[in-house]
A and B are shown apart, each in its own frame.
Chain A
Amino acid sequence: MSNSNKEYLLDFEKPLFELEQKLDEMRTINMTAVDVDLSDQIQALEQRVDELRTSIYKNLTRWQRVQIARHPLRPYTLDYISSLTTNFEELRGDRSYKDDPAIIGGFARFLGSEYGSKDRTIMILGHQKGRDTSSRKHRRFGMPNPEGYRKALRLMKLAARFGKPVVTLLDTPGAFPGLEAEERGQAEAIARNLLEMARLPVPIIVVVIGEGASGGALGVGVGDRILMLENSWYSVISPESCSSILWRSWDHKEDAALALKLTAPDLTRLGLVDTIVEEPIGGAHRNPAMTTQAVGRSIAAALDELGDSSDTDLITRRRAKFDAMGAYDTSGNGKAHSTSEAPNKVATSD
């Protein structure tokens, strides 16, 4: 890890960071001092670093994954657009009230040929967070107002009119809980998107790239394929809010993260996610380029599976996909229904 990441170091990354620093020092000494040879020690330390990294990242708690999903150096929607597409033509505004910078989108040329498929025009849109204080405020921390959802819907309908597939990237701590958002119908805007996305006559691929908080995420999250990055989270509520409501205190966010079963492997077990996109070891922020490429390969594969054009069965299959989601017991016939029996795939990042 480079030193520039130090200020963003997560607690559980610290022992690894310290060891890596020591390794860097030894390498420097080995290179500059003529009379010492530390090769053996360096090799041993490298092995220890590898082992520690593996043991940390293969045994992440759910709360640790939430922290990785929120890492400020994690790739955001615009990073995916710039690395996976060319010729991005951004579209702004809901044509009714205003633009919302918390959701960004437009037509672009997806570089599918680099990921085992073909280049094609897509509509790509998603939540956008900021990188510094002023852009975070400008983008409202990726929390859309109703006009953001209405803009997204306008863009998706435009995609349908031109017969282009839609790719949506989910990364939000939730829809903005503000007074004006309520006045302008936050709930109606999200609800409308759920209904319209369910019947959009072009393929929709949804990728949870960071935080998938509740209706604020689902508002651009109905599709034919649901992909989830290995260290993203997706649930009905954030661990903090869940803690505040059920424990009546903000102190139980780790317990809440555990209880909510909000990770990609959890959602796969529950039958709610089709593909887990593996991240580089250490998380997406450690190697953003590798992460965006892994996502690119998964999008390319999903687009190939679904085909370019609209399909008469597409909407029926999409509805059936969501119809199957749920876990309940029909004690009448003694058979429990659960989506968790559905088969799932894991996409690898190598």
Chain B
Amino acid sequence: MDWFKRQKKGIQTSLDDQIEVPEGHWTKCAGCAEIINQRELSENLMVCPKCDHHVRIGAIDYFNILFDDKQYTTFDENLHAIDALEFVDRKSYKDRLTDARSKTRMNDAARAAVGNIGGHRTSVAAMDFSFIGGSMGSVVGEIVTRAIRRAHDEKLPLIIISKSGGARMMEGALSLMQMAKTSANLAHYNELGLPYISLLTDPTTGGVTASFAMLGDFHFAEPSALIGFAGPRVIRETMGQDLPDGFQTSEFLQERGFVDSVIDRRQLKNRITNVFDLLITDGNT
């Protein structure tokens, strides 16, 4: 299989959309330790050309990979977290939010958009790990919920891209209830008979796994992603022993029957389009 050859024009990454890569910069792959040209990596959708290691990417990057001609409309960018608990640990939640906003130039750890994927108008929510570990508080829960509701009301297929350390501690029980809220809305969406594809990427853990990420009609996962409920360190402490190689990876979950398909990022758009073609237009593209 030729990873470099793009089958559809839509996934071609144009220069202006690339993840900020000054020419001539080189990086060491976290997977194989090879030195790779940043631009080459970016053109390869941030997958190492040498070892296929999938570098973590943001919500906008997924939008650009999936939506036809990178055309999409974003929603709910006016939602901001508030510090309802006046939470303080070694740092206050207020300060964490301020820092995360200025560092990421995002409002919170998820974005929502609507656009065409392989010609199918689709509602997409995507999480972003760079904002407080992709944790889910009230804003993430609300953005995901609204993306589900948007899919329901406009009768669109749905994709949720998970990448999260779990529910956000700094919003306490408010974060916990986002699991119930998103799941309740998926129950409602299920009645429509339209496909919901859950894409699990590195990492997907805790309350996000234990809610919408595990409730898809299709569970697609990027290769070698960490996917689980409890963290590996906690399990190691509980069991008092080392965990087997490959435990809680995408491949492990596929073998155990919780992931339908481990899919290379460069094939993602084609595979999603295939599902939509099969189910929405009854195979006629």
Chain A interface residue count, CB cutoff 8 Å, equals 63
Query: 0/1 per residue, B244-257, Cβ < 8 Å to A?
Result: 00011000000011
Residue B73 at the chain A interface, CB threshold 8 Å: no
Residue A112 at the chain B interface, CB threshold 8 Å: no
Residue B80 at the chain A interface, CB threshold 8 Å: yes
| Residues of chain B lying within 8 A (CB to CB) of residue A336 | 82
Residue A218 at the chain B interface, CB threshold 8 Å: yes
* Interchain CA distance A261-B170 in the complex, whole Å: 10
| Residues of chain A lying within 8 A (CB to CB) of residue B81 | 328-329
* Interchain CA distance A327-B190 in the complex, whole Å: 26
Residue of A with least CB distance to B92: A259
Query: 0/1 per residue, B157-179, Cβ < 8 Å to A?
Result: 00000000001111111111111
Query: 0/1 per residue, A226-256, Cβ < 8 Å to B?
Result: 0000000011110001100111000010011
A242 smallest CB distance to B (angstroms): 6
Query: 0/1 per residue, B199-231, Cβ < 8 Å to A?
Result: 000000011011111110000000000001111
B229–A236 CB distance below 8 A: no
* Interchain CA distance A247-B87 in the complex, whole Å: 13
Choose one: A194, A237, A332; the contact of B211 (CB below 8 Å).
A194
Residue B186 at the chain A interface, CB threshold 8 Å: yes
Interface residues of B: mostly helix, strand, loop or mixed? Answer: helix
B169–A260 CB distance below 8 A: yes
Of the listed stretches A68-76, A79-87, A177-185, name the one at the interface; the rest are far from the partner chain: A177-185
Residue B88 at the chain A interface, CB threshold 8 Å: yes
B115 smallest CB distance to A (angstroms): 22
| Residues of chain A lying within 8 A (CB to CB) of residue B139 | 326, 328
A190–B229 CB distance below 8 A: yes
Choose one: B90, B187, B247; the contact of A246 (CB below 8 Å).
B90
A260–B85 CB distance below 8 A: yes
A324 smallest CB distance to B (angstroms): 9
* Interchain CA distance A124-B206 in the complex, whole Å: 27
B78–A332 CB distance below 8 A: yes
B73 smallest CB distance to A (angstroms): 16
For A194, A219, A234, the residue with the greatest tally of chain B CB atoms inside 10 Å of its CB is: A194
| Residues of chain B lying within 8 A (CB to CB) of residue A329 | 79-82
Residue of B with least CB distance to A323: B181
Residue of A with least CB distance to B175: A236
A323–B138 CB distance below 8 A: no
A290 smallest CB distance to B (angstroms): 27
Residue B26 at the chain A interface, CB threshold 8 Å: no
Identify which of residues 289-306 in chain A touch chain B, using a CB-to-CB cut-off of 8 Å. Answer: none
B187–A196 CB distance below 8 A: yes
Query: 0/1 per residue, A182-214, Cβ < 8 Å to B?
Result: 111111101110111011000000000000001
* Interchain CA distance A184-B252 in the complex, whole Å: 11
* Interchain CA distance A327-B177 in the complex, whole Å: 11
Residue A319 at the chain B interface, CB threshold 8 Å: yes
* Interchain CA distance A267-B59 in the complex, whole Å: 32
* Interchain CA distance A50-B84 in the complex, whole Å: 36
Contact A183 to B256, CB < 8 A, known contacts A194-B211, A323-B185, A340-B84? yes
Choose one: A177, A184, A185, A187; the contact of B235 (CB below 8 Å).
A177
Query: 0/1 per residue, B53-89, Cβ < 8 Å to A?
Result: 0000000000000000000000000111110110111
- CB<8 Å pairs between A and B, sample of 14: A176-B238, A178-B238, A185-B256, A187-B209, A187-B213, A187-B229, A198-B187, A215-B179, A247-B89, A270-B172, A325-B180, A328-B79, A328-B82, A329-B82
**Known A194-B210, A236-B171, A272-B174; further 7 A-B contacts with Cβ < 8 A:** A178-B235, A182-B247, A191-B212, A191-B214, A235-B173, A323-B181, A336-B82
**Which residues on B are within 8 Å of A, measured CB to CB?**
78-82, 84-85, 87-90, 138-139, 141-142, 145, 167-181, 183-188, 190, 206-207, 209-215, 228-231, 234-235, 238-239, 243, 247-248, 256-258
**Which residues on A are within 8 Å of B, measured CB to CB?**
175-179, 181-188, 190-192, 194-196, 198-199, 214-215, 218-219, 221-222, 234-237, 241-242, 245-247, 252, 255-256, 259-262, 266-267, 270, 272, 318-319, 322-323, 325-332, 336, 338-340
